[in-house]
Structure 1
Amino acid sequence: MPDVLDPADPSFARDPYPFYARLRARGPASRVTLANGTQAWLVTGYETARTVLADPRFSNVPLPSVGRPKPDSPARRAQACLAQHMLNRDAPDHRRLRRLAAEAFTPPRVDALRPRIQELAQSLVSDLAGRMERDGTADVVDAFAFPLPVLVIADLLGVPESDRMDLREWTYRVGSPADALPPGAAEEAWGHLYTYFNELIAYKRLAPGDDLLSRLTHEPGEAAADKGELIAMAFLLLFAGYETTMNLLAAATLLLLTHPGERAAALGGDPRHWAAVTEEALRFASPLEGATWRRATQPVDLGAGVVVPDQASVLVVLAAANRDPAHYPEPDAFRPARYLTERQRPAPHLAFGHGPHVCLGARLARLEAAIALPLLFTALPDLTLAAPADTLSYRPGLLVRGPRQVPVGRVPGAVLASRSNQRATGS
């Protein structure tokens, strides 16, 4: 066990699971020292994770900033505004803001997006194929897994078509690791996003449409969100709307490329098989590594002699809980069949969290995967990984997890699809 946990360490980012397994063996929660010098309690077991995520004694409101104030800038104002989002609130504010956004994620509204998701995914698959034909290889993350959810959430928010390329570029920058961009690029993008959403919300007040931001800006009564909350809501839905789905699509694609038997089974099966691939990818390669940070508002006894002290920082590690051997046989194996054939269904995974802050967009993420994955592999049956899997780098940190790139090419003459595959995906 290292004395200090450095989430930016490439080897840890690539495979954090052995570390989490050792923590889990020590008890329901373990105190660790992070590379920035702070200490935190990491929860890695399944049952304790569910308990903490539903326990109101753990607050989502961050501690006030300490230390010397940082200079004002558009990026700083944007980040401060984002901190007002509902994931950083407790009841009753959290319930009020969540209720406002929840209308956009009801089953009928989400299911109505299917034709648009299909259209976007087909266009992106064609673009991916064109890139491979032109350059020999292409990156699934850049060409497919990232733009699809960004464009879908732009539709939901009501971002005009003419603005979406800019939105995609700014979102890409603020979501990229710091070492992947030129100096100042992320800060500039933060400023652009803050200004853009400020102006878009003002426009929606004057010319509302049939979209979420229009409905939120015209919400009547005391439950309505103020201007800062509206901007924070737009930020949160944008980032939450693409981060989980991007990492899910990237990880699932990589898993199918490195598990040919599972790929063949999915292509030879029906939509249930693709749903099983999605659920197992969510469990096995959790796109959210951890839930949002929480703090204890009083000493909390988690059992087995572990007492989390008052005001301690606590992180529920979803990726670790989803590999708890007490709930998942062979937890470190990618086995979609566990969601198909076992008499006793596996425990519900925690990839979307649990409790009052469970992800609003879970249904939308599943729908995007249900459409995008079979379309990708049916349209490109000769798709192959263009680099050794163990050389791929992963996004650093403790909150989101996914491969930074998934380079792919095509193998001429390879045939993996069949008529039954095409019938199963509706193509």
Structure 2
Amino acid sequence: MSSRKIDRTYEPDGTAVRVTGYAQAKEVLRSTGTVQAGLGVETVEKLPPSIRRPVLYRDGEEHREHRRQTARYFTPRRVDEHYRELMERVADEQLAHLRSEPAVDLAKLSFRMAIEVVSAVIGLTESRPGLDKRLDRFFPEKFGKPGFTSLHGIYWVFKQNFQFLGIYLADVRPAVKVRRRQRRDDLISHLIDEGCRDGEILGECLTFAAAGMVTTREFVNVVAWHLFTDDALRQRYTGGDETTRVALLHDLLRLEPVVGNLKRRTTAAIPAGEAVIPKDALVDVDVSTANLERADEGPGLAFGDGPHKCPGAYVAIQEADIFLSKLFAIEGLRMVKPPRVAMKPDISSYELRDFIISVRPPA
């Protein structure tokens, strides 16, 4: 397997208990004595109690029941039967852009692919054109800190609220309006059945946008980067059957997890190997380090583990394989310029941009 492309230099939070061992990390993530931390949970906790939190920020029985009721949308059988044809079609559409242009940014093609697939799963199917651009504005490379104590903070308050409103008006409200008239078999319809208000549905949709659209784009990009720069790996992938290709994708994801660090807060003293982490401790689970201990457990902890393990893991792997297998089957495919790497240090996640590829010979 190739060496890492992503420099995982990471400055741990000095106030957190850092966990780097694979077994200990899995133990923490599976523990019922922890709750979600990081990923903006501090902001969500400030919302009025009457507002239902997105599933990412809930724990305990409420969280388990929601996951139980929505698990059917993400089973391998459902994904294969309901979304494989869609994935094939969208991949062909995006690769048609590659064939028609002198060169394209792979990050844009892979993002449109991920958006189309996840939108179908959750029910964002009535969006106005430009959802990829709206999401790029909502999840910029560099975040400012909103607040009312400086002009910079006030700017980010209004900017963030403006982006919220844009996605609500152009994407969420049209989908909700259609499903309030006639229910469909998707996540938004389920949320309506549960009595969720439009703002609460918006929160869930943005959670799935971050966890399903944004992360899948980065995964596709980093795998492509490896395949472009390692001939033996590329031959193994393009010459293998689906089982072989998926195993290779799992291993690359283990090597290059999109989110390198996960945080939890303990609600009770919990074991972590031979140590005991005390109650009310912030725990920093170093997924990228822990994953290096294992080469035989698929993607390792790249999708998390325990109650908050990513429900869309199978969706991400299947769409990545469909897109990448079609991409690398194109004759004359070449990398014009490797991607520019940006990092989000709070969760040690990478973003690959300006990844220029072409199917035309060099001038």
- Is TM (by shorter chain) over 0.5? yes
Q: Is the 8 A contact 1:248 1:402 kept in 2?
A: no
Match of 2:16 in 1: 40
Match of 1:395 in 2: 343
Match of 1:93 in 2: 62
Secondary structure (helix, strand or coil) at the match of 2:304 reads coil
Q: Is the 8 A contact 2:247 2:298 kept in 1?
A: no
Match of 1:175 in 2: 139
Structure with the greater alpha carbon radius of gyration: 1
Secondary structure (helix, strand or coil) at the match of 1:189 reads helix
1:411 positional shift = 5.9
How large is the RMSD of aligned CA atoms in angstroms?
3.1
Structure 1 runs of 4+ aligned residues shifted over 6 Å read 61-64
1:348 positional shift = 5.8
Name which structure has the greater RCO, CA cutoff 8 Å, separation 6+. 2
Identity %: 26
Letter of the structure 2 residue corresponding to residue 403 of structure 1 = L
Secondary structure (helix, strand or coil) at the match of 1:386 reads strand
Match of 1:340 in 2: none
Secondary structure (helix, strand or coil) at the match of 1:359 reads coil
Q: Is the 8 A contact 1:251 1:402 kept in 2?
A: no
Alignment of 1:181-330 (within 5 A): 187-195=161-169, 196-198=171-173, 200-218=175-193, 224-227=194-197, 229-291=200-262, 293-303=263-273, 306-324=275-293, 327-328=294-295
Secondary structure (helix, strand or coil) at the match of 1:393 reads strand
1:88 positional shift = 1.2
Letter of the structure 2 residue corresponding to residue 120 of structure 1 = V
CA distance in 1 between counterparts of 2:143 and 2:75 reads 38
Residue 74 of structure 2 corresponds to residue 126 of structure 1: no
Higher alpha-carbon deviation: 169-178 or 146-155: 169-178
Q: Is the 8 A contact 1:154 1:164 kept in 2?
A: no
- Residue segments in structure 2 that go unaligned for 5+ positions in a row: 145-154
Q: Given the superposition, is the C-alpha separation of residues 46 and 170 from structure 1 closer, same or farther in structure 2, using an over 3 Å criterion?
A: same
Q: Given the superposition, is the C-alpha separation of residues 147 and 193 from structure 1 closer, same or farther in structure 2, using an over 3 Å criterion?
A: same
Higher alpha-carbon deviation: 42-51 or 294-303: 294-303
Q: Is the 8 A contact 2:23 2:273 kept in 1?
A: no
User: Paired residues, what number?
Assistant: 338
Within the candidate set 95, 114, 117, 2:84 is matched to 114
Match of 1:156 in 2: 121
Q: Provide the TM-score with structure 1 as the length reference.
A: 0.70
CA distance in 1 between counterparts of 2:279 and 2:42 reads 17
CA distance in 2 between counterparts of 1:278 and 1:86 reads 27
Letter of the structure 1 residue corresponding to residue 21 of structure 2 = G
Q: Is the 8 A contact 1:147 1:168 kept in 2?
A: yes
Within the candidate set 19, 34, 41, 1:58 is matched to 34
1:301 positional shift = 4.7
Q: Given the superposition, is the C-alpha separation of residues 366 and 130 from structure 1 closer, same or farther in structure 2, using an over 3 Å criterion?
A: same
- Residue segments in structure 1 that go unaligned for 5+ positions in a row: 1-12, 21-30, 34-38, 70-75, 219-223, 329-344, 414-427
Q: Provide the TM-score with structure 2 as the length reference.
A: 0.81
Residue 332 of structure 2 corresponds to residue 382 of structure 1: yes
For residues 282-333 of structure 1, what are the alpha-carbon distances to aligned partners after superposition, in whole Å with 9 as ceiling and x for unaligned?
1111122233x311123445355x5534322223222222112xx33xxxxx
Secondary structure (helix, strand or coil) at the match of 2:265 reads strand
CA distance in 1 between counterparts of 2:13 and 2:192 reads 43
Q: Is the 8 A contact 2:98 2:358 kept in 1?
A: no
Letter of the structure 1 residue corresponding to residue 106 of structure 2 = V
1:203 positional shift = 3.9
Q: Given the superposition, is the C-alpha separation of residues 154 and 54 from structure 1 closer, same or farther in structure 2, using an over 3 Å criterion?
A: same
Q: Given the superposition, is the C-alpha separation of residues 276 and 140 from structure 1 closer, same or farther in structure 2, using an over 3 Å criterion?
A: same
1:351 positional shift = 1.2
Q: Is the 8 A contact 1:393 1:405 kept in 2?
A: no
Secondary structure (helix, strand or coil) at the match of 2:283 reads strand
1:367 positional shift = 0.9
For residues 57-76 of structure 1, what are the alpha-carbon distances to aligned partners after superposition, in whole Å with 9 as ceiling and x for unaligned?
1112679859xx9xxxxxx9
CA distance in 1 between counterparts of 2:88 and 2:57 reads 33
CA distance in 2 between counterparts of 1:56 and 1:377 reads 43
Secondary structure (helix, strand or coil) at the match of 2:60 reads coil
